[in-house]
């Protein structure tokens, strides 16, 4: 395992400049690339630590601030530990910003992130892996569906908005996906109820997409995030194993 080297970078994107965290092994080699999509709370020490963990496993990892239209990260001020009682006030600020992330905007931004990432000397230029957390799971799925030639593996953990009844729901992109997918659903997640989980699985199966979806029993929405009260260490460890296995098979 090689220590990760991380830095803040700026990426020309659809509606301005997206700041991002970029981390990679420090040995100078060209590595498979991973695009990590943030949860709503954004690029912060927790997300940088998670990206570093993937980098230390042998990958070059980009974590864009997908809310760049509203400022550089952190877009909203966050406590060191995000408590359940903090969520209402934080989401009151974040939800209007998240509305900018239409499927069209996400696909265009993803093109900018992927183009930048695959051109870097630290990456091998091959199709990448993506992983997203909470709202980022939706972005990961849209990226796999809108850029199939550039994405070899995609994952979503405790996602939201993956398979709704909306006419532009991400699961409707299934026919174009060539990547292998993995989803880790939180048990009893109001943001991703069983009927949406089942709708997603049916769409992927009908399209012949290689995929695996698991329910993490006893885990809450946000279970991977150690800086929140939703964190579940056992479930987080399980997700790391599944995620790195997915990337090892495909990248």
Strand (E) or helix (H) holding 60: strand 60-64
Please give the pLDDT value at position 111. 98
SS3 at position 75:
coil
Please give the pLDDT value at position 1. 66
Please give the pLDDT value at position 28. 87
Question: One digit per residue, pLDDT tens: the chain, 251 residues?
Answer: 678 999 999 999 999 999 999 999 999 899 999 999 999 999 999 999 999 999 999 999 999 999 999 999 999 999 999 999 999 999 999 999 999 999 999 999 999 999 999 999 999 999 999 999 999 999 999 999 999 999 999 999 999 999 999 999 999 999 999 999 999 999 989 999 999 999 999 999 999 999 999 999 999 999 999 999 999 999 999 999 999 999 999 99
In the chain, the number of structural domains is 1
CA atoms of 118 and 136, how far apart (whole Å): 20
Strand (E) or helix (H) holding 138: helix 135-146
CA atoms of 159 and 152, how far apart (whole Å): 19
Please give the pLDDT value at position 202. 98
* Residues of the domain holding 227: 4-250
CATH code at position 70: 3.40.50.1820
- Collect all residues with Cβ–Cβ distance below 8 Å to 6 and sequence separation of at least 6: 21, 22, 23, 24, 48, 51, 52, 55
CB 153 within 8 A of CB 74: no
């Amino acid at each position: 395992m090689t220590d990760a080297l991380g830095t803040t970078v700026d990426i020309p994107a659809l509606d301005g400049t997206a700041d991002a965290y970029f981390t990679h092994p420090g040995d100078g080699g060209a590595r498979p690339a991973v695009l990590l999509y943030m949860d709503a709370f954004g690029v912060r020490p927790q997300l940088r630590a998670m990206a570093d963990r993937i980098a230390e496993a042998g990958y070059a990892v980009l974590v864009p601030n997908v809310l760049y239209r509203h400022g550089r990260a952190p877009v909203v001020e966050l406590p060191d530990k995000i408590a359940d009682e903090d969520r209402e006030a934080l989401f009151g600020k974040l939800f209007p910003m998240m509305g900018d992330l239409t499927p069209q905007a996400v696909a265009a931004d993803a093109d900018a992130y992927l183009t930048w990432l695959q051109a870097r000397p630290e990456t091998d230029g091959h199709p990448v892996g993506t992983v997203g957390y909470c709202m980022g799971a939706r972005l990961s799925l849209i990226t796999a569906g809108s850029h199939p030639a550039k994405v070899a593996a995609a994952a979503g953990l405790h996602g939201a908005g993956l398979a709704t009844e909306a006419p532009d729901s991400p699961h409707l992109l299934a026919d174009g996906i060539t990547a292998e997918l993995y989803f880790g659903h939180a048990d009893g997640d109001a943001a991703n109820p069983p009927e949406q989980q089942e709708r997603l699985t049916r769409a992927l199966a009908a399209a012949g997409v290689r995929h695996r979806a698991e329910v993490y029993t006893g885990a809450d929405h946000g279970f991977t995030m150690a800086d929140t009260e939703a964190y579940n260490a056992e479930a987080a460890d399980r997700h790391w194993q599944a995620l790195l296995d997915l990337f090892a098979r495909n990248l």
